[in-house]
Each structure stands twice: as structure tokens, then as C-alpha cells.
Chain A
Amino acid sequence: MTPAKQAKQQLQSLPKCPTGIPGMDEITGGGLPKGRPTLIAGAAGCGKTLFAMEFLINGATQYDEPGVFVAFEENAEELAQNVASLGFDLKKLSKQKKLIIDHVRVERSEIEETGDYDLDGLFIRLGHAIDSIGAKRVALDTIEVLFSAFDNKGILRAELQRLFRWLKDKGVSAVITAERGEGTVTRFGLEEYVADCVITLDHRVTEQVSTRRLRIVKYRGTLHGTNEYPFLIGKNGISVLPITSLGLEHPTSTKRVSTGIKELDEMLDGKGFYRGSSILLTGTAGTGKSSISAAFVEAACQRGERCMYFAFEESTSQILRNMRSIGIDLAPHVKNGLLQFHVARPTVYGLEMHLVTMYDLIKEYKPQVVVLDPITDFFAVASQAEVKATITRIIDFLKTHQITALVTSYTSQNDNLDQTVVGVSSLIDTWLSLRNLEHHGERHRGLYVLKSRGMFHSNQIRSFRITDNGIQIGDMDLAKYQMESSTT
């Protein structure tokens, strides 16, 4: 392509080079700048090398763009081993001439400098590799190693500047990795030369839970999200989790589904929940949140819908036993494959890992109903803002896929509107509240619909009993009972 033609094309819109990394292309509006260098900066162990490697592998396998990986730190064998666990077969790609891994080893001790030199050797070597497979993508990992190999920093800086210019002229999309510096993006100020796109990676540990984050510091000529995005290195490599990329464009359904409890259906306009809506169930301990969830799941299974139950407190067998005791037998549905339980302590891994695990499971199983019971425990592993963001993502995700979601949450006895619930309540379509009521030394349960969008619903507080034969909802003599907390 002639430069003039290239310039003309850029005028229309900046061409992008998709990374193939889930989420990354969403936040960059299509990928990294095509035919230009991108700088990836981060401390050791942040996933820079993996990012660069995935960029090349995805290019070679998904976009028919062969790549050259210039490794200054690890050799081809080590790199192949490192990514083999993620399911990438570098040797096969090399054999197919889709990928070249060139290990540049610089041994300071055996080099003596006398007089003027340039880095033509590196240029020729790289050029040869690019031309031999018609590479469209290049990764330089980590080029800063050169700073310890050569004494003459003046020459080196001039040559690196020439190198990035040369890569642009070659029209290859390049990823250059660099160590993060103190107070600067990179230790040796490479960001001054690579001016088109700069991305930083970060790895933090808060409350013993580690989170990786990615931020686009700069992306010339394109709109991009400026937030920090959590990302994960999972079993399939890197995935970025953009929260803001989801719009409010999910389809809405007018179909209704039964709650599994006749009287509760009646409270909701006689028809139950909207399909694909999000339902929040709050209550103090022992008010029957899990029981209502189980009743809903049972009804869904009986309609032949697929359900997925994420339990964060109890084991599967414990839930099955407890529900059987109130006349809800879920075991047959588990057996015939309509119901799947997934049990995980919130503290086993970070929020993002939970999120991605859920995404993967849901995408694979394609349920129509998902239960999260309860979300409260997530506050043990992350800050309130983070939990809120995560729950927003889950709910958005479920809504876009038209999955009816039932989320349960604790509230403390006196605190009527728990902070956390306030955080997510705006996302919720139907909110059921369960209360303990005490009267004459007896404990009673009360249930009411706090809100339910798009339908006429009951304003009454109904009595709510859990019996051997399931859940019974009845009228409550309001004169006899008083809501324990009157702050509503």
C-alpha cells in the first residue's frame, strides 16, 4: 500500500487490528491500531508477555495475519511451555509458518564497545523474519533488555526511535512490552517513542485477593474507555471484563413465569415474574430466601426450563436435603439435567474469576433461570464498589441473554435498606422483602413486594409459612402483628 493510499484510508477511520482477546476489542472499539506500534507497560508478572503472545497467536489463527515474536528474555522452548498450559501450540504454528519465535540473546559480558555502531543487525534480522512469512504482526518482548546490553544510550535511543518508525513503514501492527517505571509509564521512557497507543497492566492484591487491571492510557485517534478494567488470566488466556461496554439495549419480554408459589403469583398481578427480569430477594437470616428460590427453580424445571443454581454458602446435598424437608424435591431435576448446582465459596478466588466462571458456565449450559444465593458473601472478598460493579455485570449479562435471574441477599434486622442492596436495587425489576415479625413470644414471617416494574402488584404484607408441604402464603392480621422495624 502506498503511503498516500494509507493516509487516505486513515482519514476515513483509523484501521484497527483485532486482538482476539475477549473484551479487549470491545473497549478499544475494534482492537489495537493497525500498522502502528502499541506499548504495553507493567510490572513483572502482569501478563505482558502473554498479552503480546495472544495478540500474535490470535492473529495467526483467527485473522490470517502471521506474526513474529522477538523474545529478548525467554527462548522459544520456554515460551512454548509457558503458553502450552493455556492450550496454545506454538510449535504447530511455527511449522505452519504462521508464527516465528526469534530469541534474541544479549550477553553483556562478552560485548565490548569501540566507536560508532547502529542496530542494523536487529533490523535485518527482524526484517528477514517478517518477510519470510509475510508477517503482519510483531511483538518485541521486552526490548528494554537492550538498555542493559549497550553502553551508548544515545545511540540506543536513536536506534529504537528508528526501529519504531521502521515498523510503521513496514505496516506491521506491533506490540512492544516494557517494564513499568517509577513515576513514569516505562522505566526507560519508551512511551516517548511509541506514541500511538499505550496500555498499562497492573496486578494488585487487596484483602488477600488478587486482581489484575488494564488501562488504556492513550490511544491516538480513537475513542476508548478510560477506566481501569479488571482482566483475568484464565484457562483460555486473557479476558478483559468491560463493565461499561454493556448498553441498556437488552430485549424485554412481556411473557410471564410463575414464581412456583400460587399466592405469590397472585401478589404479582396474578401472573408471576416477567421472563428475563431480575428479581431480588432480601431478608434477615432464616426468613426463607432459599426456600422461595427453590420453589421458583422447581416450578421452572417442571415447565421444562433449564436452571442453574449458584450456591455460595451451602453444599448441593445440603440444599437438596433441606428443600426435601419442606416438600420440594429437586433431586430428580438434577438427575435429568434440567438443574445444575455450582457451589463455590466467595473467598476461593477474586470477583473477576467468579464472574468469568459464571459467564463460562452460563454460556455453556444456556439456562433460562439463574439463581445466585446469596450475593452477600462477596462483600467479604472485595470492596462495596467492586461488588456492586460485579453484580451489575452479572445482571446485565443475564438480561442480555434473556435469563430470569433470582438474586438473594441478607439484610440486617434493623437496617431496612441495606447499603449493598441500595447499590443494585436500581437494576432490579422485582424486589421481594422477607421480614421476621415477633408477637406474643412467637416468630412469624412476613413477605411483601417492595417493587415490581411494569405490573400491578400487591401492597400487602402477607404472612409466609414454611411447612412440610412447602410454602404457604396467607393473609396477615395487621392488627395483631406489627412490623418489627417501623422505619420503612
Chain B
Amino acid sequence: MSVEKSKARTQPRKVSKTYELRLYVAGQTPKSLTAFANLKKICEEHLAGQYHIEVVDLLKHPQLASGDQILAIPTLVRKLPEPIKKIIGDLSNTERVLVGLNLREHKQD
């Protein structure tokens, strides 16, 4: 896993079903690595081809913490679709991550 901030956005806003996710971490701690692995797994299972994950390492870019009001680490921010949602923790509870991302609703429509 590469913990790098990349600005490249694949499909900005054009398709409403695109999930733009941002994962905030602080260095490559076990918690961050677990969170990333869990996130990747969930996205592949439920959002294959419709998501983009951006990983922000606050140790390298501390100034970015205030933008999304990040306190807890790791924090997953769903930038799109709106409204913004935040899920904190290592994302080990798949059920709650799905609820947090409103993926249940998404599947229904």
C-alpha cells in the first residue's frame, strides 16, 4: 500500500454514483494500514469501478487537518456524493462502514 496524497480525480462529479473517498492517516501505523485494507475490501465488494480513494498522510501534510475538521485518526471522509460523511476508526465493522457511507440506500435505488 502506498500512503500518498494524489490529487488526480478520475471522474469529478459527472456520474452521480462516483464515490470520492479520502482517508486521513498519520504515518503508516497498524491502525492506518488496517483501515486502508478494510476500506479497499469494502469498496471492491460494494462499489467496484465507482470509487476513488485518496490517502492523506497528515504527518506529511499537517495543514490539511483543518480543512475537513479531522481530529480522530484514521478518518474516512466521503466527499462525494454529498452530504459529507465521516467514519472514524479502523473500519473493522463493515456493517457500520456501509451505513456510514449510505451504501445501503445506494443499493436500493
Contact = CB atoms under 8 A, between A and B. Distances in A.
Contacts of B74: 117
Best-surrounded residue of B65, B70, B88, B92 (most CB of chain A within 10 A): B88
A207 interface: no
B31 A110 contact: no
A124 interface: yes
Contacts of B92: 114-116
Contacts of B100: 112, 114
Nearest to B73: A120
Given A119-B73, A127-B62, A114 B84 contact: no
Interface string B57-70: 01100110110011
Given A125-B65, A128-B62, A128-B65, A118 B96 contact: no
B89 A146 contact: no
Contact of A110 (B34, B35, B84): B84
Interface in B2-22: none
A48 B52 CA distance: 44
Contact of A120 (B34, B58, B83, B99): B58
A124 B90 CA distance: 18
A205 interface: no
A142 to B, nearest CB: 14
Given A121-B26, A125-B65, A128-B63, A113 B96 contact: yes
Given A124-B73, A128-B62, 11 more contacts: A104-B71, A114-B97, A114-B100, A117-B75, A118-B31, A121-B24, A121-B73, A124-B65, A128-B63, A146-B71, A150-B88
A146 B99 CA distance: 23
Given A113-B88, A128-B65, A121 B58 contact: yes
A193 to B, nearest CB: 17
Contacts of A113: 87-89, 96
A110 B83 contact: yes
B86 A102 contact: no
A127 B61 CA distance: 12
Nearest to A111: B86
Contacts of A102: 66
Interface residues of B, number: 33
26 contacts: A107-B69, A110-B83, A110-B85, A111-B87, A112-B85, A112-B87, A112-B97, A113-B88, A114-B92, A114-B97, A115-B90, A116-B89, A116-B92, A117-B72, A117-B73, A117-B88, A120-B26, A120-B73, A121-B70, A121-B71, A122-B71, A124-B26, A124-B59, A124-B62, A125-B71, A146-B71
A149 B92 CA distance: 20
Nearest to B74: A117
Contacts of A122: 71-72
Interface in A57-99: none
Contacts of B31: 116-118
Given A104-B71, A117-B72, A124-B65, A112 B86 contact: yes
Best-surrounded residue of B71, B74, B89 (most CB of chain A within 10 A): B71
B93 interface: yes
A314 to B, nearest CB: 59
A224 interface: no
Best-surrounded residue of A105, A112, A118, A149 (most CB of chain B within 10 A): A112
A483 interface: no
A292 B21 CA distance: 84
A114 B26 contact: no
A124 B59 CA distance: 7
A158 interface: no
Contacts of B70: 121, 125
Given A114-B100, A115-B90, A121 B85 contact: no
Contacts of B93: 114-115
Contacts of A120: 26, 58, 72-73
A105 B71 CA distance: 9
B87 A124 contact: no
A117 B90 contact: yes
